[in-house]
A and B are shown apart, each in its own frame.
Chain A
Amino acid sequence: MTIVLRTQNLTKRFADILAVDGLSMQLEEGSITALLGGNGAGKTTTLSMLLGLLKPTSGKIELFGHDFIANRFSVLSRMNFSSPYVDLPQRLTVRENLSVYARLYGVKNIGSRISEVVQEFRLEAFVDRRLRKLSSGQKTRVSLAKAMINRPEFLLLDEPTASLDPDTTSWIRELLDAYRKESGATILFASHDMREVELLCDEVILLRQGKLVEHGSPESLLEKYDHKTLEEVFLQVSRSELKE
């Protein structure tokens, strides 16, 4: 199996705070992996380093076989990202935003690709409306559409279904799964929604105080901790931190 992402001893220190502590992990091509952890566990810091927005203090990131830290530009066009903490320009319409990002990612046949993502994410009703006029759920869908505009081989998502209603969450989940199956893309996402993780992920990485404390399939973790839900596993691991 091809390894898309490999990190070795990835570390990020902010002054006296060790945000990520020697994280070593690898993601296989076509896998969906959830990055779990409580607040301040290092999920967003890890995602930021994997996106090139944050320079690691030490360690290695290898993406598609390239040294990502030394030259991130060689692989950035093969990736994409969505996060509720980063917005798209609010004064531009949905179509204008998608058009700008399609060009930034060097997408071919921009018009037809925009039509595809508009249809996939059900944006037809407001595609020519400015972003600032949309509800938070609609904005999340636009952000996901932007993340898919270049058909990324590696997709990083920070809380992808935040602000979505259960019905929309369900079809977005199906859509991501279908995209993975159809394209062979690798997906890494941070989430607090354990139900979503159970339904969607092949692998789970659990972080605590910047360290990887658990790694495995949802089924193997349920078996190891003898629980019925991942939420119970998450709580047990989080509370064990308090006892230490």
Chain B
Amino acid sequence: MNLTLSIGRISALLLRYVYLLRSSWPRIIEIAYWPTMQMIIWGFVSQYFSASSPELTTGGILISVVLVWDSLFRSHISYTLSFLEELWSRNLGNLFVSPLRPIELIVSLASISMMRTLIGMVPAALLAIPFFGVSVFEIGFPLLAFFFNLVFTGWAISQFVTGILIRYGLGAESLTWVLPFLIAPFSCIYYPLDTLPEWMRTVAEVIPTSYVFEGMRSLLLDGVWRADLLLTAFLLNLLYFFMGVGFFFWAFNSARKQGILLQSGE
């Protein structure tokens, strides 16, 4: 595994994704469309609950967790869709005969993923202020910690999905959409951890997102900033991300042995 990086090659690939993005205005609108729709729907749900069960909506928690959870989904989808573009356009062969190293591909995909996630999330978060009087920005620094942790989880999942895609091809494309939701029930996005049955709680303990949402609830409902929860989430994310990178490298080498890189595409 060679981990030497070239800023020139990373920015070249980043430029390729920016060109792609700007080539289609519906794509740019779509990036912001889904988070905004989520925010609007959950905003009204929140308003409805605020009358009957105000404890469920204190501090705009429902809208805040929806937006923060969406940052995981957006970061993963943005990362994986950019990679899928290479498969759909049968461009992997050209990329991998260039001096581009797999680690540079990972950094480029993570960079464009961050860019696309911010394009998607910032307008939704801003619109929540006039629509429902909820500003996630009031959370301040902890918001960044929640956000980056979930983006990081999204990238960790993406490593496994892109590894599977490079090894098994477009037949595994549906995993892109399915895999993030596998951890959703254990993430305790809308309910506290102790709602889960014992066995699910045990699983949730090794899922980084459960610590993020417990941390958010603690901050927004009780006003207590739990840095320990965020640190645990970060360490778990680090572990899964590097496991994911290892898996991607294994899949890449396996694809090189099988001669799949030249044949990739529809």
- Are B9 and A86 closer than 8 Å at their CB atoms? no
On chain B, the number of residues with a Cβ less than 8 Å from chain A's Cβ atoms is 37
- Are B94 and A92 closer than 8 Å at their CB atoms? no
B residues within 8 A CB of A92? 16, 19-20, 23
List residues of B (229-266) whose CB comes within 8 Å of A's CBs: 253, 256-259, 261-263, 265
CA distance A83 to B253 in the complex (A): 22
A residues within 8 A CB of B38? none
A contacts with B: majority SS:
mixed
Of the candidates A86, A90, A99, the one whose C-beta lies within 8 Å of that of B262 is: A86
- Are A79 and B19 closer than 8 Å at their CB atoms? no
How many A-B contacts at CB < 8 Å in the complex?
108
Of the candidates A14, A80, A102, A103, the one whose C-beta lies within 8 Å of that of B97 is: A80
- Are A104 and B98 closer than 8 Å at their CB atoms? yes
What interface size band does chain A fall in?
A: 35 or more
A75 to chain B, nearest CB (A): 9
- Are A146 and B20 closer than 8 Å at their CB atoms? no
CA distance A146 to B12 in the complex (A): 14
Of the candidates A14, A81, A100, the one whose C-beta lies within 8 Å of that of B12 is: A100
Q: A86-B262, A99-B15, A100-B13 are in contact. Are A105 and B20 (CB under 8 A)?
A: no
**In the complex, which residue of chain B has the Cβ closest to the Cβ of A52?**
B97
Q: Is B91 an interface residue (CB 8 A)?
A: yes
Partner-B contacts on A (CB < 8 A)? 12, 14, 44-45, 48, 51-55, 73, 76-77, 79-81, 83, 85-93, 96, 99-106, 130, 146
Partner-A contacts on B (CB < 8 A)? 2, 4, 6, 8-9, 11-13, 15-16, 19-20, 23-24, 85, 89-101, 253, 256-259, 261-263, 265
